[in-house]
């Protein structure tokens, strides 16, 4: 068994004081290379917060979060984050930068040479199905939702991080574009061999893309297993999700 890329051990996260409110409670899981863990749950179930605990946009109150075998607190947050690809819905692209500048942003922060950034940007745009000569100089508002999301994925892959965090990346797309991107994403993730944590509230998307599915309810991870186990699980929240999708 290979070492996990990301591992959570008994992680809780509380916000506010008097009384503190727990949004993540005692969550444990690990994700290895080539694995996609889908975190499924209703709005407010704590799945996005769990994702942000991994790249320290949120700090845990208790428990340990490890990335590549090291506690996330061991590095300055910006160092940690540059080694983790992060894809979010819509707003993730910077509106004042071109597509090429958006994709090349983390390499630029890492002070790569210009030619190296340009070559990498071309390579990535091609990888996500956007012809560099047509798209490199456009700005995000000149793209369709699906194209923007492709740019978002390209950007997350820029420095070839071993771990990708995706927060409802296809949530704002129309159903047809969404299905198209899901198919491509599945192919891409199989080829890239990255560890991924993918947050969604769409159970069909979860079953399609996840090697494993973690279902969250009220901050707890109430189910963790593969698609077959998910379908057979008697847990009421699992049943509720499956019935809603049927």
Partner 1 sequence: MNLVRFYVDNAREVLGLVGQHLLLVLVSTAVAVAIGVPLGILLTRRPAWRGPVLGLANVFQTIPSLALFGFLIPLPLLGGIGARTAIVALVVYGLLPIVRNTYVGISGIDPAVREAARGMGMTDGELLRLVELPLAAGVILAGIRVATVVGVGTATIAAAIGAGGLGEYIFRGVAVVDNTLILAGAVPAALLALSADGLLGLLERRFAWR
85: closest CA among 1, 195, 9? 195
Rule CB under 8 A: choose which of 109, 119, 244, 245 binds partner 1.
Answer: 109
**Burial of 43 from C-beta contacts in 10 A (0-12 / 13-18 / 19+):** exposed
State the helix-helix crossing angle for 145-156 and 175-192, rounded to 10 degrees: 20
The nearest distance, CB 239 to partner 1, in angstroms, is: 33
Rule CB under 8 A: choose which of 79, 113, 115, 246 binds partner 1.
Answer: 79
The nearest distance, CB 91 to partner 1, in angstroms, is: 4
Lookup: tokens for 191:
């080829």
Rule CB under 8 A: choose which of 9, 30, 32, 57 binds partner 1.
Answer: 57
Lookup: tokens for 188:
């891409």
Instruction: Measure the CA–CA gap between 84 and 71, rounded to whole angstroms.
Output: 14
- Residue corresponding to tokens 């399609």: 208
Answer yes or no: are the C-beta atoms of 140 and 99 closer than 8 Å: yes
Candidate segments 6-14, 76-84, 169-177, 219-227, binder of partner 1 by CB under 8 A: 76-84
Lookup: tokens for 179:
């299905």
Q: Kindly identify the residues of this chain, within the stretch 115-174, that bind partner 1 according to CB under 8 A.
A: 139, 141, 155, 165
Q: Does 5 bind partner 1 (CB under 8 A)?
A: no
Rule CB under 8 A: choose which of 105, 157, 163, 221 binds partner 1.
Answer: 105
Q: Does 95 bind partner 1 (CB under 8 A)?
A: yes
Q: Does 106 bind partner 1 (CB under 8 A)?
A: yes
Lookup: tokens for 209:
């893309």
Rule CB under 8 A: choose which of 92, 169, 210, 214 binds partner 1.
Answer: 92
Contacts to partner 1 by CB under 8 A: 55, 57, 77-83, 86, 88, 91-96, 105-106, 109, 139, 141, 155, 165
């Amino acid at each position: 068994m290979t070492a996990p890329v990301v591992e959570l051990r008994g992680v809780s996260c509380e916000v506010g004081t008097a009384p503190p409110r727990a949004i993540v409670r005692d969550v444990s899981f690990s994700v290895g290379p080539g694995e996609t863990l889908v975190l499924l749950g209703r709005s407010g179930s704590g799945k996005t917060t769990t994702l942000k605990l991994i790249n320290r946009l949120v700090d845990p109150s208790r428990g340990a979060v490890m990335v590549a075998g090291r506690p996330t607190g061991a590095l300055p947050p910006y160092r940690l984050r540059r080694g983790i690809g992060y894809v979010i819905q819509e707003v993730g692209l910077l509106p004042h930068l071109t597509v090429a500048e958006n994709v090349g942003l983390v390499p630029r922060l890492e002070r790569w040479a210009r030619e190296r950034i340009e070559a990498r940007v071309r390579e990535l745009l091609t990888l996500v199905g956007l012809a560099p000569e047509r798209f490199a100089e456009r700005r995000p508002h000149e793209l369709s939702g699906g194209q923007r999301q492709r740019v978002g994925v390209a950007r997350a892959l820029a420095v070839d991080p071993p771990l990708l965090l995706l927060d409802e990346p296809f949530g704002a797309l129309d159903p047809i574009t969404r299905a198209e991107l899901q198919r491509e994403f599945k192919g891409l993730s199989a080829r890239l061999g990255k560890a991924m944590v993918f947050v969604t509230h769409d159970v069909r998307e979860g079953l399609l893309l996840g090697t494993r599915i973690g279902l969250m309810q009220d901050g707890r991870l109430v189910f963790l297993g593969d698609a077959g186990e998910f379908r057979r699980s008697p847990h009421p929240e699992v049943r509720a999700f499956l019935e809603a999708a049927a």
